[in-house]
Structures are given as structure tokens and as C-alpha cells.
Amino acid sequence: MTRRDLAAMIAPLQRALIAAEMPVLRAHGLSMWGYVVLSALDSEPIRTQAALAEFIGADKSRIIGVLDELEDQGFLQRTRDPADRRARLLAITDEGRRKRNAVQAEIQRNEDRLLGRLPLDDRSAFLRALATLSALPPQ
């Protein structure tokens, strides 16, 4: 029995999900990477920019503009690490957490509409499978 390539099926789905996120993010004044950063800081204890960059799979130079903007918006604080004055410690603010939660709620509401097309047990199996596969080591 033949099937389509996984990547070929996932690509349009990913496109659709991102297209649905865009207006939500824009309405909240967040960039895609800004949302990714807030989500990372909200769910994991991350200390430095280098640690953050590695966690979200981006280069350390790529996130700087994002952090600058988030800090300007008051969603993030950067403080020098007293123990190593080269490093900057990252902390999401209460406002940042609120913003992230509001955006996520809207995004997941959209996603749930999509998931609603699936039979109930396919849906939970799908989410379970995604959670497993997304957590695999890169290799």
C-alpha cells in the first residue's frame, strides 16, 4: 500500500497553521520569533541567551533583534549575570506571560477548529503521535 511522503503532507498543514497564526500575532504586536521566545521562557527555565538560542534551534545572533523588541515592549527583562558579567539573564515579565497566554489561547482555538475535522480517537492519537515525534533527537 502506498502513501504520500510524510514531509509532503506536513508541509501544507504547517503552511496553513502559520497562515492562521499570522493575523493573531500581528493583532498582538508580536513577531513569530517573539512568540516562540516568550513560549520558551514561559515553559522552561532558561538563563542565558545562548541557552535560549540552542533551545529554540536558532543561532545566537538571530535572536538578538527579537530580544531587543520584546524588551522594548516590556515582555522581557535582561540583566547582567553578576557571577559572569558577559552573560545576560533572561526573565519573562508578568505582562509578557499574560501576552503569551492570550496569544496561545487564540492560536489553539484556531487549531482546535482544524482538529475538529478529525474523529475523536484519531484526534487524540494524532496529538499523542505528534508529541512523540516532535520530541525525537534531531539525528
Partner DNA sequence: TATTGTTATACTCTATAACTATA
Partner DNA sequence: TATAGTTATAGAGTATAACAATA
Contact set with DNA (CB under 7 A): 33, 48-51, 58-62, 64, 67-68, 78, 84-88
Which among DNA, its own copies, none contacts residue 39 (Cβ within 5 to 8 A by kind)?
its own copies
Round to whole Å and give the CA distance between 119 and 98: 33
**Minimum gap (Å) between residue 34 Cβ and its own copies:** 14
**Are 116 and 95 within 8 A, CB to CB?**
no
**Are 111 and 130 within 8 A, CB to CB?**
no
**Taking the CA of residue 42 as centre, how many other CA atoms within 13 Å lie in the half-sphere pointing to its CB?**
19
Residues 109-128 that bind its own copies (CB under 8 A): 111, 114-115, 117-118, 121-123, 125-128
Residues 8-67 that bind its own copies (CB under 8 A): 8-19, 21, 36, 39, 57
Contact partners, residue 24, CB within 8 Å, separation at least 6: 103, 106, 107, 110
Q: Compute the Cα dihedral for 94, 78, 61, 50 and give only its sign.
A: negative
70 versus 103: smaller Cβ distance to DNA:
70
CA 85 to chain centre: 28
Which among DNA, its own copies, none contacts residue 59 (Cβ within 5 to 8 A by kind)?
DNA
Residues within the interface to its own copies (CB under 8 A): 3-19, 21, 36, 39, 57, 104, 107-108, 111, 114-115, 117-118, 121-123, 125-134, 136, 138-139
